[in-house]
Amino acid sequence: MSFSPDEIERYARHLVLPEVGGPGQQKLKAARVLVIGAGGLGSPVIQYLAAAGVGTIGIVDDDIVALSNLQRQILHGTGDVGREKVASAFDAVGRLNPHVTVETHATRLTEEGARALVADYDIVADGSDNFATRYAVSDACCLEGRPLVTAAVGRFDGSLTTLRPFETGPGGAPNPTYRCLFPKPPAAGVVPTCAEAGILGVLTGLVGTLQALEVLKEILGIGQGLVGRLLLVDALSLRFETLGYAYDPANPLTGTGPRSGAPA
């Protein structure tokens, strides 16, 4: 896979990195990444993946741009209010890097369609804002053998982890699933929505950028990933903490537990 003179100049700072170089940049160009959500987390994920030269970015979002989004969803501008987020994201990526192909999916990801969608990509980044989508995405990635980098944010806090449950860890035990970490979603109404609780806008940029970093590391095969580790971010104290978690044999996807709540 060759690079044009424009691409060589564009990615010059990558090409001189021994951990990336030409072979690594080729991996990025060949990669197909699916981003769930073009909102607060998806905005920096999409921007940094496009800037890095990821060849194909799929974007899933069924929402339109609202004025209240612009406090944190920096992929969109005032002129995009009222447009589909995937259309606004498509234009933003085109302005940033014309060498990137964008595939838009103006739909809400559901259990029924999740597996077919994620199967068409190499890796998935989930920045959705609801539990139903997070579980549908994580289940589908597990069953289709696709790495998943998933993140979530609250008012002043965030979390991030990487999932490869279709592989075994260094000790020979299976890698954990999302349901090993969070067996069941909370009851409806227990966790307030962003509109109800509010959120510090810049927090989504911080966590989303870390999420993009983990996606790039997974593609390049460099560094230590977050498989079996949950990164917690406290923005008020600017404290980062990493907690370990492990495979639970009772999980309904790769364990011996009942498969209720997981797709067939």
Structural domain tally of the chain? 1
What is the C-alpha to C-alpha distance for residues 95 and 150, in angstroms, rounded to an integer? 26
Domain that holds residue 69: 12-244
**Any domain includes 249:** no
Within-domain flag for 156? yes
- Domain-located, residue 1: no
**Is there a domain that residue 223 lies in?**
yes
The answer to the question of residue 82 being in a domain is yes
pLDDT (tens digit per residue) in 114-152: 999 999 999 999 999 899 999 999 999 999 999 999 999
In a domain, 3, yes or no: no
DSSP string of 203-264? Answer: HHHHHHHHHHHHHHHHHHT-S---BTEEEEEETTTTEEEEEE----TT-TTTSSS--TTS--
Assigned domain for 259 exists: no
Element (H, E) at 116: helix 111-118
Q: In CATH, what number is assigned to the domain containing residue 16?
A: 3.40.50.720
At residue 220, the pLDDT reads 98
Predicted pLDDT at 196: 82
Say what the pLDDT of residue 264 is: 40
Is there a domain that residue 187 lies in? yes
Q: Which residues in the chain show pLDDT less than 50?
A: 260-264
For residue range 164-174, list pLDDT tens digits in order.
999 998 888 89
Q: Considering only CA atoms, which of 230, 235, 242, 161 is closest in space to residue 198?
A: 235
